[in-house]
Structure formats: C-alpha cells, structure tokens
Amino acid sequence: MDRSTNNMYFIITAQPKYHGYIHAGRICHIAESRYTLELSKESLTKLPVICMGSYTDTKLDVSDMDHVSAEEAGLLLALEDDSERLKWFRERETLRTALSLTTNTPVTVDEGKQKLRGIIRFIGRLSEPKYLDPLSGVFFGIELQGPDKGKGHTDGTFRSRTFFRCKKDCGIFAPFSRVRPVVPSSLTSSAHQPTLQAQTDKLSIGDRVTYFVDEKCSHGTVVDLNGNNEHQMVRISTVSNHLPYVFFFSLDIMRPIPHTLKSIQNFSVCFHSEISFHSETEKMDVDTPVVEPDANYGGLGVNSMVEVDFAAGKSYGTIRWIGYLPGRDEITAGVELEDNSGVSDGTFKGVRFFNCPPGRAIFLKLLTCHPDSRFQSESTNHREKTPKNEFSFFVCFSGFMGYILFTVIYTEEVSQVLIGRMKGIQGHCNSCYMDAALFSLFSCSSVLDSILFKSTKPQDAPIQKTLLRDIVNPLRSKGFVEGRHIMKLRQQLEKHGYSHSFTTDEKDPEEFLIVIMHHILALEPLLKLSAGGKVQESYCYQIFLDQNHNLVLPTVQQLLEHSFHSAGLKLAEVPSCLILQMPRFGKKFKMFDKIIPSLELDITDLLSEGSPQQCMMCGDLAHEECTDCFKDPIFSQTGFKLFCKKCSFQVHSNPQRQSHRPTILEIPEGFFEHGTPHVLARDKLELFAVLCIETSHYVSFIKYGPKSQDWIFFDSMADRQGERDGFNIPEVQACPEVGMYLEMSPAELANQVPRDMKGVAKRLFCDAYMYLYQSSSMCLYR
C-alpha cells in the first residue's frame, strides 16, 4: 500500500523553538484528515506533525513551516543534509524544473567538478521508506552519453537491484539538485560544448519521438523513413497549427536551418547517422509472417474504432488494415482518420494497402493505437460478455510457425475469462501435476514467457509450439485448454525420451518443469546460490531444516531464512522467478501442520556478500553479521542479524552474547564515492502461485490481484462427466476467504481447525507443496 497518499507535507524553514534536535530543512507530514480537523479550530498557530524518521508527532509553529507537495517532498528527501535540503527548496525554479523532467530527457549531471551529458532513464525511489515514513527520496538514473561514457559508477544497478540498463560505469544515480535539462541552444555549434549524441535506437514507423523546433521541445510520430546508411530522412506527423519545418543537421555545424512548407502538416528531419531519436516501443524479432485479414490483437482488429495521440491532441479513426509493411518487422495498423491529419490515401511507398480519401491515411505501430475512448463504455460492456479473440496471424519463431503470445489475464478480466466450470486446464490420466504447474506459471504471470520464444533445437521446436499455440494462448484468450493438448505435450516429451511414462504416470511438478526449462528450452537457471565462494545453479530450491529448529507455525519467509542459515547459502543475484519446495517427507508426510504464505519475500539479507545491507536495529548501513544471534529469541523471528558497528557493540555487550563471533560484511568498493546516495533498498519478491497436494492430487492457488481477497483456486479434475468413456471437468473458483485467514494473527491461525476452515483455504495452509515468487523488476530483463 502506498503510504504517501492522504498526507500533507511540510518543510521546516526556521529552527523550531524548544526543539533543538529538529533542524530547519527537515521534512514532516500530517494526515489530511487530522489537518482538516486542526483547521477547524478557532486559531491555528501550531500543527502536530511527524518528522521523517520519527514515530511520534511534535507540535511546531505554523510560521516555521512551508507546505510542499508529495512530489516535491520526494525530490527533497533525496538530499541527506537538512541545510542542503532547505537551500534547494528555496531554489524554487530548480525544484519546479525537476518536477517537469521525464524519462528520455537529455540532461547534464554535476559529478565532482564536471558537467556530464546524459539521458534520464529512471526516476523514482531506490529504496522503500524507512520506519513508518510514508515517503523516501526520489532519484534520477542517468545514462551518460558521447565522450562522457565511462565516467559514471553503475550499470543501472543499485544494491543488486536493476533500475535501468546501460554499460558498465555509464550510469549515475543523482538527486535533482545535480540534474539540469539540456537547453535547446546546446544543439548549436560551440567550441566549448560537445554535441549531445542521443541513444541510437533504430527508428521505425509509428515511433513517438521528441525534437526541437525554434528552441522549443515538440513531439510527433514517425510516419515515413527514407535515406541510406549515411543519412536518413525522417518524416514526422505533428498535426500542429504551426507551419512545418525541414531541418538539415550538419555534423560540423549542427545548426537547424528552417524551411517553410505550405501544403502538409508534417515535417522531415535529415540527420547524420550518429544522431537519432529515442524509440519508446521495443520491437519483436520476427521473420516473414503472413497476416490473415481478420487478425485481431488485444481487442483491436480491422474496422476497430481507435484513437491516436499526436502532438496537438488526439485523432480518431478506423483501422482498415493490419499487417507488416515492406522492410518493417513490427505489426503495423493502417488507420483511416476522421480528419485530414493523415499523410496518404492508403498507399505506402507507392503500394496500396487500403482505400480512403487523400490525407486521411496514416500507418502506425499497432501498439500505439488505443480503443476509441468516446465509446469506451460500450466496448467495456461488450468485453465483459466476450472473451479475448485469438490473434490468428502467424509469425516465424525459431524455425516454426506459431501464434503471437497473448498477454496474461489481468485482474479485472479474471471473473469473465477464468472463473467457472470447464475453465482452466482439463485434466486427463494423472496429468494434474502438469495442469497445476502450467496454470500457475502462465495464467496470470508472464515471468517465464521468454521460454515460449527463445531459440531452441529443431527437434524441440514442436514442444515449444505446443506450449505457446495449444496451451498458453487458449488459456489466456478463452480461459480453457482441452485435455487433448496436454496429452499431446506429454506424448511429445515421452517421444523425446525424457521419460517413458509421461503419458501414464503421475510425476512431480519439479521434474516436469526441469525437463521443460533445462532439457527442452535450455533456459538459463533461475536460481544462483553462493556457498563458500562458489556459485551453484538450479531451477528450484528445496527447503531443508536442521533438527534444532524451533519453528511451529512458520511463514515461508522464516523457512527460507532458516534453510539458508543452516546450509550457509546466499543468493548470488536477485532471481526473476523463485520456485520453493516446502519441507516434506515425500508427498504424504508433512513437516508442519500449517505453513503461513508470505505474500512478499524479503530477500535483502539473503543476498551474497558485496551487497550493502541494513542494520536491523537502526536502519543504517550494516558492517557486521552475527550467525549466533540468528536464533536468539530476543530478536525478530525473521531476517538475518545484521548490525552497524555501534549497534553490534551494544548487542554483544550483553554477557549472554559476549561469546558470539560476528563476521565483517564486505562493503562494495566505491560505495561512499561519487556522491552515491546512502539509501538502502529492500529487494522483495511477490507471491503469484502455490501448488498444493493432498492424497496424490495436485491443485493450485493463484494470487491474481493486489487486494487481500484476490485469490482463485484451480482443480483440473474437480468433477467428471460419465465413467470410463467420460471426461474430467476442470474448475476455477474464487476463494476470497484466503485473504481473511492471512489477516489473522499467528495465534488465531494456530487455533483454526483445518476441517472447519471456510471454502478451500485449508488446502492452501495445510497442503502447500511449492511456492512460486517473481521479481516485478528482474522479470523484465530475463
């Protein structure tokens, strides 16, 4: 939950009387409801505010504070020193400028005594707020450009967490006080100012770009590309009321020379090959596909009414054609606009794709088109009645013809697409282990979607094709997969010799997953463990506990920490997907009567040495770890015991802990250099699925949304129609009762009698076999 909302923020501008420990420049806050109550009083001279880093409120004079927005407070909190924070607050113009900055904006950043050129790639928090604070500092992640490359101190990663990607030492994290936008005049020739070389991503039709016209920043959409490898002519639709321009950029002079055009509402930019605009949309690597006329993608197809964002506002039109333009490898839509803001009559480079009046046609990336918002209510109602239609055109992936992959089933779609009888994956002949695993991985999560498209051996391509075309796409588009498709996959696995009983016998989910991920698709191991300086790789992690553990009703967080502690393991890196097998003696004998699901798994303390850690007592940078303190009951039941030097001295001054031998933590080289912010982020994974087993039958639970009741339960063999010649009936049902039990205290949960628990909650808490977690940031790069 975002605690930054529903608060009023202030900065202290004068030293408060009688509060010498509170300095001018401190950020403080008060709940809006309480602020409103205070305003209702006859005279308001003091406000009970809470200073950042404090638990209790302090009454301060209203005259000693100035109001700031939550966005301003976030930027100011990136500055550690109170006096520096106050100084930059008074530089209002700098603060206002920082608020207007967006990603992909060219900037300069102060680094030591140098001004380095770069492009903003990230704006946001590097860590979660400390204590009960509602906010933490907002930083700018900048990728250095041109001659300044290599003068940074990061590759976009901060404390083992990746916020953006760039080459080694080509990135910088900085507060707003060190960042300035590049003014348009910097494009003119200067002996003292090197020209900015922006990111050289290849432009495509439909890309949104930013450019400068008469020292003003403008935006548009690429509608045509011409030229050769040395120079390229880019035609950009601006749909502007101003006269368009043609810019000719010379490598020597780099000075824009405007030429007025009179008949079209777009302009062209001729630029040297080293200068380009940044594309906001990544391209899909496809070969020569064939597009069917009735293609439909994400609810859009031929004759769909859409809207397109241009610089001067929205334009509306109708999709008349979907396909691939000659020489272009992205899905393109030919749109007939309602006004004359287009560029042709349905032709592209002399080839006709559809017919419309002159000046009404435009060709765009399909991804840049959105349903016409003027009819949103009607389309929404229609969508509730009709599941997503299958996108029927083919593309060539890894040597075989397959379907485009559908996106995951979103939270608001679950009730229409997934829930009900004959929903999910239909079970057949001991397939429940495979049904539950595939449903868990692909219904509402995209963390392992990459395995559906990665290159594979020709003999294994049919298995990948079956997964994508016959299982994942029907599951996401229609909410149902026939049992014959699962049997087809099992037959293919058996034919390849991975097991002679895939079509008949029950398997363990991890056995099936390892065959698919490792042997078939050669996916890089999801998990990298560090032990004694050596790195081990794996796809799943089996939790083992020593005999001396004192856990009775454990959480998954506690189980993982105790297992790592007893085995002397650490994580070598943050995994994109973490698959955990619960401690059991076979399928039937459980070590614990109940296990409490951890919705978030904090893995910060589990990362290997070299990652900055946080003192568990005060929150400052940790310098020591004590394994002897791990099971000390005086400390919290979760988390490794890490201390700063001061807190470690105090803790181990106790006679009962004087025999402990803390080890020194390795602080990353350069952590205190280059003005690196001393803000420690917490690395967390989120739970998205749980596989359970009872009496040799696997089922699964999916956490599909942010609310506590957003849970569904899947059973591929919930019922059966007929006898020997009949068929199984799969079912997906909502189970909001799970959220109720998760909100109970451990004592309350321990007193719950399993057979009396509501709905199917008992199966989650008592029969858990495998937990699946994902990293919302790392899955973007794996």
Can you give the pLDDT at residue 271?
Answer: 31
Percent of the chain at pLDDT > 70 equals 74
Could you list the residue range(s) of the whole structural domain that residue 51 is in? 7-90
**Residue 753 and residue 647 share a domain:** no
CA distance 90 to 109: 20
Q: What is the DSSP string of 619-661?
A: -SB--EE-STTTT-TTS-SSS--EE-HHHHHHHTTSGGGTT--
**Residue 737 and residue 626 share a domain:** no
Q: What is the DSSP string of 705-743?
A: SSSTT-EEEEEEEEEEESSTT-EEEEEEEE-THHHHHHT
**Residue 648 and residue 722 share a domain:** no
Which strands form 370-371's sheet, in the order they lie side by side? 361-365, 332-337, 313-323, 305-310, 370-371
For residue 51, is pLDDT > 60? yes
Segment 384-411 mean pLDDT: 46
User: How confident is residue 679, by pLDDT bands cut at 50, 70 and 90?
Assistant: low
**Residue 512 and residue 643 share a domain:** no
Per-residue pLDDT of 169-193, as tens digits, reads 999 999 999 999 875 333 333 333 3
DSSP label at 364?
E
CA distance 124 to 166: 17
Percent of the chain at pLDDT > 90 equals 30
For residue 35, is pLDDT > 90? no
Can you give the pLDDT at residue 781?
Answer: 43
For residue 249, is pLDDT > 70? no
CATH code for the domain in which residue 326 is found: 2.30.30.190
Can you give the pLDDT at residue 143?
Answer: 93
Instruction: Assess whether 779 carries a catalytic annotation.
Output: no
Segment 452-463 mean pLDDT: 84
With respect to residue 521, please indicate whether it lies within any of the assigned structural domains. yes
Per-residue pLDDT of 647-677, as tens digits, reads 888 888 888 888 888 888 877 665 654 444 4
Q: What is the DSSP string of 665-708?
A: PPPPTTTTSTT----PPPPEEEEEEEEEEETTEEEEEEE-SSST
For residue 104, is pLDDT > 80? yes
Assigned token pair, 256: 């824009």
**Residue 643 and residue 627 share a domain:** yes
CA distance 430 to 569: 36
Segment 47-61 mean pLDDT: 83
User: How confident is residue 155, by pLDDT bands cut at 50, 70 and 90?
Assistant: very high
pTM: 0.51
Cβ neighbours of residue 73 closer than 8 Å, sequence gap 6 or more: 9, 11, 27, 29, 135
Per-residue pLDDT of 694-727, as tens digits, reads 878 999 999 999 999 999 999 999 999 887 778 8
What radius of gyration, in Å, describes the C-alpha atoms of the chain? 30
For residue 305, is pLDDT > 50? yes
Residue carrying structure tokens 């020591």: 624
CA distances from 515 to 457, 496, 499, 523, 607 (A): 14, 11, 10, 10, 28
Q: What is the DSSP string of 518-539?
A: IIIT-PPPSEEEEETTEEEEES
Strand partners, 290: 394
CA distances from 745 to 281, 633, 741, 752, 771 (A): 45, 19, 9, 11, 21
- For residue 82, the SS3 value is helix
**Residue 438 and residue 533 share a domain:** yes
CA distance 305 to 335: 9
For residue 438, is pLDDT > 90? yes
Most confident of 164-178, 180-194, 306-320, 345-359: 164-178
CA distance 767 to 692: 5
For residue 237, is pLDDT > 60? no
**Residue 509 and residue 471 share a domain:** yes
**Residue 231 and residue 141 share a domain:** no
For residue 729, is pLDDT > 90? yes
User: How confident is residue 384, by pLDDT bands cut at 50, 70 and 90?
Assistant: very low
CA distance 49 to 56: 8
Can you give the pLDDT at residue 280?
Answer: 32
C-alpha closest to that of 95 among 77, 82, 117: 77
User: How confident is residue 226, by pLDDT bands cut at 50, 70 and 90?
Assistant: low
Q: Which of 291-295, 307-311, 642-646 has the lowest mean pLDDT?
A: 291-295
Number of structural domains (the chain) is 6
Can you give the pLDDT at residue 210?
Answer: 54
With respect to residue 201, please indicate whether it lies within any of the assigned structural domains. no
Element at 772 (helix H, strand E): strand 768-774
With respect to residue 294, please indicate whether it lies within any of the assigned structural domains. no
With respect to residue 187, please indicate whether it lies within any of the assigned structural domains. no
For residue 331, is pLDDT > 90? no
CATH code for the domain in which residue 745 is found: 3.90.70.10
Assigned token pair, 219: 């935006």
Length of the chain counted residue by residue? 782
Per-residue pLDDT of 110-151, as tens digits, reads 988 889 999 999 999 998 887 678 889 999 999 998 889 999
For residue 525, is pLDDT > 80? yes
With respect to residue 260, please indicate whether it lies within any of the assigned structural domains. no
Burial of 350 (0-12, 13-18, 19+ CB in 10 A): exposed
Can you give the pLDDT at residue 710?
Answer: 95
User: How confident is residue 232, by pLDDT bands cut at 50, 70 and 90?
Assistant: low
Burial of 528 (0-12, 13-18, 19+ CB in 10 A): middle
CA distance 30 to 54: 12
**Residue 314 and residue 171 share a domain:** no
The answer to whether 194 touches 147, Cβ cutoff 8 Å, is yes
Q: Which of 51, 432, 644, 735 is catalytic?
A: 432
User: How confident is residue 489, by pLDDT bands cut at 50, 70 and 90?
Assistant: very high
H, E, C per residue of 220-278: EEEEEEEECCCEEEEEEECCCCCCCEEEECCCCCCCCCCCECCCCCEEEEEEECCCCCC
User: How confident is residue 246, by pLDDT bands cut at 50, 70 and 90?
Assistant: very low
CA distance 656 to 649: 13
Per-residue pLDDT of 63-85, as tens digits, reads 889 999 999 999 999 998 899 99
Q: Which of 170, 540, 697, 735 is catalytic?
A: 697
User: How confident is residue 286, by pLDDT bands cut at 50, 70 and 90?
Assistant: very low
Can you give the pLDDT at residue 460?
Answer: 87
CA distance 387 to 89: 52
**Residue 703 and residue 576 share a domain:** yes
Segment 309-326 mean pLDDT: 79
Strands (E), 460-533: 480-481, 527-531
C-alpha closest to that of 702 among 728, 738, 755: 738
Segment 248-262 mean pLDDT: 29
With respect to residue 282, please indicate whether it lies within any of the assigned structural domains. no
With respect to residue 297, please indicate whether it lies within any of the assigned structural domains. no
Can you give the pLDDT at residue 170?
Answer: 94
**Residue 726 and residue 592 share a domain:** yes
Segment 42-48 mean pLDDT: 80
For residue 333, is pLDDT > 90? no
CA distance 690 to 118: 44
With respect to residue 388, please indicate whether it lies within any of the assigned structural domains. no
CA distance 191 to 189: 7
Segment 505-515 mean pLDDT: 88
**Residue 724 and residue 630 share a domain:** no
Instruction: Assess whether 766 carries a catalytic annotation.
Output: no
C-alpha closest to that of 434 among 424, 422, 444: 424
